[in-house]
Chain A
């Protein structure tokens, strides 16, 4: 076996818990999160960094985890959709999505919610234009964008953010 398939030890924090795992250098972060850690709320959609279904937060920034190597996460602090609330409660963004019917099939929803977190951090009171631009990295294949925008607008007007 070539050294290329050797496993590297990676230590990071995910949803507040410290983890040390072994991963091949080529292992993508999204596969580590889903398959090794069992956090299947983060989805794989396009697998080519277009659709945003795999969006997670690394050190407070929304990124597409299909385009990050697991070994690059050494020392990072990661938040996935499962980390927003303990148990089965909804966080304010999830509650707004529920309230405004901002999901149809739900596949893009975890990535959308993670991107909305970043959007509201950068712009607590975004306009409709800001919201559409801020979510440009997330594709809803059901094309249910209007209600997603409405959900985010409801958070902006109440000044809520998580």
Chain B
């Protein structure tokens, strides 16, 4: 399969890339890892006039760990997130989630920024970012703006990004000491994407849940925070009954997708199963 012809510019600065996007917002696409874009070009699902390769932009690379939090450049690959020791010392959730994405060769090219900006409803990182209460840093014509991950995803393949904006970095606040994390998914056997995926950050004090954030992917039009279920768990033990009730609440609050992989009813059931398994994995 051969993509339709396009112009190509290898951007040498973020400003240049933004200017090119602004010149022709409808006809221009950014190229990072290319593992969603190139297949869609080959299938002629997209035929942009211009590809702007942002692969050289150093300001979009790297993982920085400080006292206050973690900063991840949008071009960081799944493989880098899997392998980074300092990152996984703080948040082993990254290794757990990255290891469940696609396969080794795809992880060597695909980027976290590309995954988030593409907003595939079945992508893994969105759920993880929600559980970690991440903030997305966006570069545009008038500088940078930030938005919480929970406000970033709008619909299927749709985010708050404007046509002349670039997802630049992800900022993750340092979690409270003692917070435990998990990411689990029902993996589609062919695509590797999440039919349903659940990420949880949870803290217990004296066997009672003191903090809980639940990120869900695969189930609905876009990744979302399971607020009712998390609120319900606060102040409670992780007993069988409480876990069952949280799972029911999460499932009831979700308007589930129905597609050729899974019906809405099946997904509503999978949400319950996966939330229970995820909470059991966090039970000491």
Chain A residues close to B by CB (< 8 Å)? 2-6, 8, 24-26, 28, 47-50, 52, 55, 61-64, 67-69, 71-72, 74, 115, 118-119, 134, 136-138
- A63 and B108 within 8 A (CB): yes
Contacts of A71 in B (CB 8 A): 8, 10, 53
Judging by beta carbons under 8 Å apart, are A48 and B41 in contact? Answer: no
Taking a contact as CB atoms under 8 Å apart, the answer to whether B55 and A72 are in contact is: yes
What is the count of residue pairs linking A and B with beta-carbon distances less than 8 angstroms?
A: 88
Partner of B103, one of A6, A25, A28, A137: A137
Q: Measured between alpha carbons, how far is A74 from B51 in the docked complex, in Å?
A: 15
Instruction: Tell me if B34 and A25 are in contact (CB < 8 A).
Output: no
Instruction: Given contact pairs A47-B1, A137-B105, enumerate 6 new A-B contacts (beta carbons under 8 Å).
Output: A48-B39, A49-B105, A49-B106, A61-B108, A63-B105, A69-B8
CB-CB under 8 A for A72 and B31, given A64-B105, A67-B38, A118-B104: yes
Give chain A residues whose Cβ lies under 8 Å from the Cβ of B38: 28, 49, 67-69
Query: Is the pair A134, B104 in contact by a Cβ cutoff of 8 Å?
Result: yes
Contact of A62 among B3, B41, B105 (CB under 8 A): B105
Cβ B35 vs Cβ A25 within 8 A: no
Q: Which residue of the partner chain A has the closest CB to B107?
A: A137
Query: In the bound complex, how far is the Cα of B53 from the Cα of A26, in angstroms?
Result: 12
Q: B109 near A: Cβ within 8 Å?
A: yes
Which one of B35, B53, B79, B109 has the greatest number of beta carbons of chain A within 10 Å? B109
Report the nearest A residue to B102, measured CB to CB.
Answer: A137
Let me know if B42 is at the binding interface, CB within 8 A.
Answer: yes
Among residues of A, the one whose C-beta sits closest to the C-beta of B10 is: A74
Residue of B nearest to A3 (CB): B7
Given contacts A26-B41, A47-B42, A61 and B79 within 8 Å (CB-CB): yes
Binding site for A on B (CB under 8 A): 1-8, 10, 31, 34-35, 38-39, 41-43, 49, 51, 53, 55, 79, 102-106, 108-109, 190
Q: Is the CB of B8 within 8 A of A52?
A: no
B37's nearest neighbour on chain A, judged by CB, is A67
CB of A64 to closest CB in B, whole Å = 5
User: A2 near B105 (CB under 8 angstroms)?
Assistant: no
Say whether, besides A24-B5, A25-B5, A119-B104, A48 and B31 are in contact (CB < 8 Å). no
Pairs A–B under 8 Å by Cβ, sample size 15: A25-B5, A26-B2, A48-B42, A49-B106, A55-B105, A63-B109, A67-B39, A68-B34, A68-B109, A71-B8, A72-B53, A118-B105, A136-B104, A137-B103, A138-B103
Query: Which of A8, A64, A136, A137 contacts B8 (CB under 8 A)?
Result: A8
A65 to B10 CA separation, bound complex (whole angstroms): 19
Residues of B within 8 Å of A72, CB to CB, are 31, 34, 53, 55
Q: Whole-angstrom distance between the alpha carbons of A55 and B105 in the complex?
A: 8
* B105 and A4 contacting across the interface, CB-CB below 8 Å: no
B39 near A25 with CB under 8 A, answer no
Shortest distance between the CB of B44 and any CB in chain A (Å): 11
Contact residues in B for A26 (Cβ distance below 8 Å): 2-6, 41
Complex contact B10–A52 (CB within 8 A): no
**Which residues in A have their C-beta under 8 angstroms from that of B6?**
4, 25-26
Kindly list the 5 A-B residue pairs having the minimum CB-CB distance in the complex, ordered from nearest.
A137-B103, A25-B8, A4-B5, A61-B108, A136-B103
Cα distance, A136 to B39, chains bound together (Å) = 19
Which residues of B are found within 8 Å of A63, using beta-carbon distances?
Answer: 105, 108-109
Give the docked Cα–Cα distance between A115 and B55 (Å).
23
The docked-state distance in angstroms from the alpha carbon of A129 to that of B6 is 42
**Residues of A with C-beta under 8 A to B31:** 69, 72
Chain A nearest Cβ from B11, distance in angstroms: 12
Q: Specify the chain A residue showing the minimal Cβ separation from B99.
A: A133
Residues of A within 8 A of B106 (CB): 49, 64, 67, 137
Cα distance A58–B121 in the bound complex, in angstroms:
30
Interface centre among B7, B102, B103, B106 (most CB of A within 10 A): B103
Whether A5 pairs with B5 at a CB distance below 8 angstroms is yes
